């Protein structure tokens, strides 16, 4: 078996999220493009003692320039990303972004490169002629049919090219993998996203509830697919029976005077007990979530569902859609209730069921998350995939 020493990670990352493992980092370094599961994996591999090289991109970096960070066992290479200039990336199929990723990988020569999202980052990685694993976090077909426009069609074309070039794949859920089978016949291993130990460690004791019930909803974007309006209306109905309960909304579009609050005002929805918090950094969000009792997740379409796993790691039961893709797989063994999330009365019934069986649901959520979505379990699965590819 080949001994792996140097692992490359290609994909969107957030440099501020990596500060915990970075030493001597520049105060003016670019932010990057997010990628929460990618950030978690980078930190987990680094803490296991691997040499890790990160290949990413950022809209803050002008074309022709780059950002690099180097320290013992960690190197970061970040090139430009013309995210706001769709016509340019469509015209040359992300050539600027791909070429930078390819060049950085060729320069550093990792034993294997793990590329995340089957778009520009994976294409750049595959062009470097290094053994590569591609992790698919979404289905480009599902994305296109949910929002049919020329840019999503272009992204679908890029994904088809990447999946024809690549040999080895993982996907974050069986639901996502099944939809990808329409693009490729190659084997797709299932490796879910995980929550880092730091999130699991926030859990301190057996959870109980009282009349002051606190419900959280976490979404980025007040869109039709997020279906947050159903959750808000269901809470208004639920609060008639539980008048001391609260609903706390987090994410882009859910802050003061943002789309969710504007919708409530326009539709004359009573907002008593509803708190519009908006976007919060991930570490702050986890601390806030840990203070809540239930996660209400009314999204209609999820390839995976990070928020439900975050909640389960904290022992928080989840109400989610029984036909919402990857979320059904996450909650299939327990830890909450799967309901028809387009039916407000069913959402209310799901909330009441969780309240009636709260301690059992909470314990289930915690145990399932440790067994299936903990850092040790998932990172070990990825290491086995790396070894299989190199063997």
Averaged pLDDT, groups of 10, the chain, 391 residues long? 88 94 87 93 98 97 96 97 87 95 98 96 97 94 83 92 96 94 93 95 89 95 93 97 97 96 96 96 93 96 92 97 91 94 97 96 97 97 97 90
**Is residue 356 domain-shared with residue 308, that is, in the same domain?**
yes
Report the CATH number that the domain containing residue 308 is assigned in CATH.
3.40.50.2000
> How many domains are there within the chain?
2
Domain membership flag for residue 319: yes
Supply the Cα-derived Rg of the chain in whole angstroms: 21
Dihedral-angle region of residue 41 (phi above 0 means left; psi in -120 to 50 means alpha; beta otherwise): alpha
**Is residue 59 domain-shared with residue 81, that is, in the same domain?**
yes
What tokens appear for 287 in the block?
């601390």
What is the extent of the structural domain holding 278? 197-373
| Cα–Cα distance, 144 to 8 (Å, whole number) | 29
**Is residue 221 domain-shared with residue 330, that is, in the same domain?**
yes
Given a contact cutoff of 8 angstroms between Cβ atoms, the answer to whether 56 and 11 are in contact is yes
**Is residue 101 domain-shared with residue 239, that is, in the same domain?**
no
pLDDT at 2: 66
Domain membership flag for residue 212: yes
Query: What DSSP string describes 43-99?
Result: HHHHHTT-EEEEEEEETTSPTT--EEEEETTEEEEEEE--TT-HHHHHHHTTHHHHH
Phi then psi for residue 217, to 5 deg, are -130, 130
User: How many other CB atoms sit within 10 Å of the CB of residue 235?
Assistant: 26
Q: For residue 185, what is the DSSP state? A: -
**Is residue 239 domain-shared with residue 262, that is, in the same domain?**
yes
**Is residue 336 domain-shared with residue 358, that is, in the same domain?**
yes
**Is residue 187 domain-shared with residue 43, that is, in the same domain?**
yes
pLDDT at 83: 85
What tokens appear for 13 in the block?
């990352």
Closest CA to 230 of 267, 201, 196: 267
**Is residue 167 domain-shared with residue 220, that is, in the same domain?**
no
Alpha-carbon dihedral sign for residues 80, 85, 88, 91: positive
pLDDT at 24: 85
| The pairing of beta strand 67-71 with beta strand 74-80 | antiparallel
3-state DSSP assignment of residue 278:
strand
**Is residue 157 domain-shared with residue 277, that is, in the same domain?**
no
pLDDT at 87: 85
Domain membership flag for residue 45: yes
Domain membership flag for residue 267: yes
Given a contact cutoff of 8 angstroms between Cβ atoms, the answer to whether 264 and 232 are in contact is yes
Q: What angle do CA 196, 201, 207 make, to 5 degrees?
A: 120
Domain membership flag for residue 386: yes
Phi then psi for residue 280, to 5 deg, are -145, 145
Given a contact cutoff of 8 angstroms between Cβ atoms, the answer to whether 116 and 35 are in contact is yes
What tokens appear for 368 in the block?
């399932």
| Cα–Cα distance, 376 to 197 (Å, whole number) | 9
Domain membership flag for residue 86: yes
pLDDT at 228: 97
Domain membership flag for residue 176: yes
**Is residue 181 domain-shared with residue 202, that is, in the same domain?**
no
Domain membership flag for residue 91: yes
Where b means 16+ CB within 10 Å and e means fewer, 31-45 reads ebbebbbbbbbbbbb
Sequence-separated (6 or more) residues with CB below 8 Å from residue 135:
114, 115, 116, 117, 169, 170, 171, 172, 191
**Is residue 14 domain-shared with residue 136, that is, in the same domain?**
yes
pLDDT at 136: 96
**Is residue 332 domain-shared with residue 219, that is, in the same domain?**
yes
């Amino acid at each position: 078996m080949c001994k792996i020493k140097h692992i490359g990670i290609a994909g969107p990352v957030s440099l501020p999220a990596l500060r915990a493992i970075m030493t001597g980092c520049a105060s003016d370094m670019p932010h990057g493009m997010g990628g929460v599961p990618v950030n978690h994996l980078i930190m987990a591999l680094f803490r296991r003692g691997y040499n890790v090289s990160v290949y990413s991109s950022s809209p803050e970096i002008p074309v022709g320039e780059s950002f690099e960070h180097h320290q013992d066992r960690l190197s970061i290479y970040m090139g430009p990303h013309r995210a706001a200039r769709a016509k340019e990336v469509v015209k040359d199929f992300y050539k600027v972004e791909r070429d930078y990723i390819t060049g950085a990988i060729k320069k550093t020569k990792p034993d294997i490169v793990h590329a995340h999202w089957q778009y520009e980052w994976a294409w750049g990685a595959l062009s470097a002629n290094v053994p590569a694993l591609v992790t698919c976090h979404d289905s480009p077909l599902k994305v296109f049919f949910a929002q049919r426009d020329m840019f999503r069609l272009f992204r679908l074309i890029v994904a088809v090219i990447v999946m024809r070039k690549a040999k080895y794949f993982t996907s974050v859920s069986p639901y996502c993998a099944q939809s990808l089978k329409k693009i490729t016949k190659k084997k797709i291993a299932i490796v879910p996203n995980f929550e880092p130990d730091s999130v699991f460690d926030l859990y301190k004791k057996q959870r109980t509830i009282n009349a002051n019930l606190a419900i959280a909803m976490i979404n980025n974007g007040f869109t039709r697919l997020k279906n947050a309006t159903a959750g808000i209306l269901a809470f208004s109905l639920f609060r008639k029976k539980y008048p001391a309960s609260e609903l706390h909304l987090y994410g882009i579009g859910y802050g003061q005077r943002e789309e969710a609050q504007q919708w409530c005002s326009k539709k004359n929805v009573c907002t008593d007990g509803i708190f519009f918090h908006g976007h919060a950094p991930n570490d702050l969000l986890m601390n806030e979530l840990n203070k809540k009792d239930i996660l209400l997740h009314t999204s209609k379409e999820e390839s995976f569902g990070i928020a439900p796993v975050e909640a389960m790691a904290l022992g928080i039961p989840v109400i989610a859609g029984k036909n919402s893709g990857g979320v059904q797989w996450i909650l299939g063994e327990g830890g909450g209730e799967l309901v028809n999330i387009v039916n407000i009365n069913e959402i209310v019934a799901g909330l009441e069921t969780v309240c009636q069986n709260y301690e059992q649901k909470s314990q289930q959520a915690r145990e399932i998350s440790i067994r299936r979505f903990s850092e040790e379990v998932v990172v070990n699965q990825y290491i086995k995939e790396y070894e299989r590819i190199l063997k």
